[in-house]
Structure formats: structure tokens, C-alpha cells
């Protein structure tokens, strides 16, 4: 572990890319690595799992090094905080003499009780109960919670009207070529589209994953057909590729 921490410190000093990173710029890599761990575990490939767990650990080490440079905390502080939390949230293990044998459901209830005790005295929003996660899922859960608290459109038509309003604002931002405004309005459009899906009883995450799967299949078909025709995909015209795309739609839909 000390060797790994030393390597990370050296990279921050001597590697141009590593020097440029900030805690915020790295967060997307942590998310990606977590997904890759999940995929590796599903594959059952032990070498892949070991590698992906290392990549995920790198994100913790990298973030810790950057905060160490700010004088905030270091990796050892992260480890100490985690150790204390694990002991605090498992009294049935580390203070077993005070507890009778608990089953997994009772352990889960105890964990939640301790978490609630830790949060006492802190100013909280009721939306804080929504855990971070994939953005589409998080948006949908936040909207559902807000609706339960009375903040919601009365019907689908109003939600769809809001989407059209956000699309108009996005178009206006494009005309102004204001990068920050474009970014903000694009996010508003996505959030509003998720809300329309929620009103329809759709899972935005599932819908997008289905589309991604469909796109992968169709693009693989295009690559295969280009190879059979002895063509290089990068050298084909958009019209040729589009023609293969339409073939893929017909072939895969019939298949």
C-alpha cells in the first residue's frame, strides 16, 4: 500500500495529465470503474475482477492524494474513518456480548437505526434519502419523492409542456453559443424528459439501456457488412453507412 501511495504522489508531480486533474474531473472515472467492476464480477473472470478492483482502488488513492495536497486529509485518514464507521455500525460483531444473535434482516434494521442516529442534529432535506447513483435513476427517484411531497405536474400534458419549454431554452442557448448556458439547458432537457417518462410509468434508465443495446447490435452489423464488402468503415461515406444502418434495422427487427 505504501508503494502504491508513493507511486501516486510521483505521478502527481511528474505526469502532465495527472497534474491537471481535480477531484471533480476524476469523479466520472470512479463511476466508470465501479460499472467495470460490476461487469467483471458478472463475467466471473478472476484476472479481470482483480484488475478492475485495482482500477477502482486507484480512484480512492488518486482522490486522497489530491486532498492531501490541499492539507485536508490523506489516504490514512480515509482508512481510519472507514474503520471507525464499520466498527460503529456493527456493534453486534464488535460488542457481541451486548447483543443476542441477529439474523441478516435484524442486522440491516440495526444498520439503518445507527445511520439515522448519526444524522441527528444535521440539517437535512428529505431528498437526502435519495442515494447517489446513475443520473437517470437518481433524477427519477428525486422526482418521485418531490411528487410525494406535493411538487409535481398535475398531468402528462403539463410535464410534456415543460419539456418543450426546456427544449426552446436549449435552442436559444445554442444560438447564443454560450457554453455554460448550453450545458445547463441540456441538463434541464434531460431532467424534464425523465419526468415525462416517469409520468408514463417508464424507467428512463431501462429505456436508455435498451436503446444502447439496440445501437450496439446495429453498429456491429454495419461493421460486419463493411468487412464483408472489403471496405474500411472510416473511409465510407455517411450515405453508405446510413444505408447499412437501415439494413441493420430491417435485418435485426426481422431476426
Torsion angle in degrees (nearest 10) through CA of 151, 155, 161, 164 = 80
Helix (H, G, I), strand (E, B) or coil at 41: helix
Nearest to 83 by CA among 99, 94, 97, 70: 94
For residues 105 and 207, what is the distance between their CA atoms, to the nearest angstrom?
Answer: 32
pLDDT confidence tier of residue 60, bands split at 50, 70 and 90: very high
For residue 201, give every residue at least 6 positions away whose Cβ sits within 8 Å of its Cβ, in sequence order, or none.
none
pLDDT confidence tier of residue 248, bands split at 50, 70 and 90: very high
For residues 108 and 129, what is the distance between their CA atoms, to the nearest angstrom?
Answer: 16
Rounded mean pLDDT of 26-43? 91
Q: Which of 2-11, 87-96, 97-106, 186-195 has the lowest mean pLDDT?
A: 97-106
Task: Tell me 96's DSSP state.
Answer: G
The terminus-to-terminus CA distance of the chain in angstroms comes to 52
For residue 185, give every residue at least 6 positions away whose Cβ sits within 8 Å of its Cβ, in sequence order, or none.
166, 169, 170, 172, 173
**What digits encode the pLDDT tens for the residues 203-220?**
999 999 899 989 999 999
Length of the chain counted residue by residue: 255
**What digits encode the pLDDT tens for the residues 90-131?**
887 887 776 666 777 777 777 777 777 777 666 577 787 787
Nearest to 49 by CA among 63, 33, 31: 33
Place of cell 472515472: 29
Query: Please, what is the Cα angle at 208 between 206 and 214, to 5 degrees?
Result: 105
For residues 139 and 189, what is the distance between their CA atoms, to the nearest angstrom?
Answer: 12
| 3-state secondary structure labels for all residues of 177-188 | CCHHHHHHHHHH
Nearest to 198 by CA among 236, 147, 250, 242: 147
70 phi, psi to nearest 5 deg: -85, -5
Amino acid at each position: 500500500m505504501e508503494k502504491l501511495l508513493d507511486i501516486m504522489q510521483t505521478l502527481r508531480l511528474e505526469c502532465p495529465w495527472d497534474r491537471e486533474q481535480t477531484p471533480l474531473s476524476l469523479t466520472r472515472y470512479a463511476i466508470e470503474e465501479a460499472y467495470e467492476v460490476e461487469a467483471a464480477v458478472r463475467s466471473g473472470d478472476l484476472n479481470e475482477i482483480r484488475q478492475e478492483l485495482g482500477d477502482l482502488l486507484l480512484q480512492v488513492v488518486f482522490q486522497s492524494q489530491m486532498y492531501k495536497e490541499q492539507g485536508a486529509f490523506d489516504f490514512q485518514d480515509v482508512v481510519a474513518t472507514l474503520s471507525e464507521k464499520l466498527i460503529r455500525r456493527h456493534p453486534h460483531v464488535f460488542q457481541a456480548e451486548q447483543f443476542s444473535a441477529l439474523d441478516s434482516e435484524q442486522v440491516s434494521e440495526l444498520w439503518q437505526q445507527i445511520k439515522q442516529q448519526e444524522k441527528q442534529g444535521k440539517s437535512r432535506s428529505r431528498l437526502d434519502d435519495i442515494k447517489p447513483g446513475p443520473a437517470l435513476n437518481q433524477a427519477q427517484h428525486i422526482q418521485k419523492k418531490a411528487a410525494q411531497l406535493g411538487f409535481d405536474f398535475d398531468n402528462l400534458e403539463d410535464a410534456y409542456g415543460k419539456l418543450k419549454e426546456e427544449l426552446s431554452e436549449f435552442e436559444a442557448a445554442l444560438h447564443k453559443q454560450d457554453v455554460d448556458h448550453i450545458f445547463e439547458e441540456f441538463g434541464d432537457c434531460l431532467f424534464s424528459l425523465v419526468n415525462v417518462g416517469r409520468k408514463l410509468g417508464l424507467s428512463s434508465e431501462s429505456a436508455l439501456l435498451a436503446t444502447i443495446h439496440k445501437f450496439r447490435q446495429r453498429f456491429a452489423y454495419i461493421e460486419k457488412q463493411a468487412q464483408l464488402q472489403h471496405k474500411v468503415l472510416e473511409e465510407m461515406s455517411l450515405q453508405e453507412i446510413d444505408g447499412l444502418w437501415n439494413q441493420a434495422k430491417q435485418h435485426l427487427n426481422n431476426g
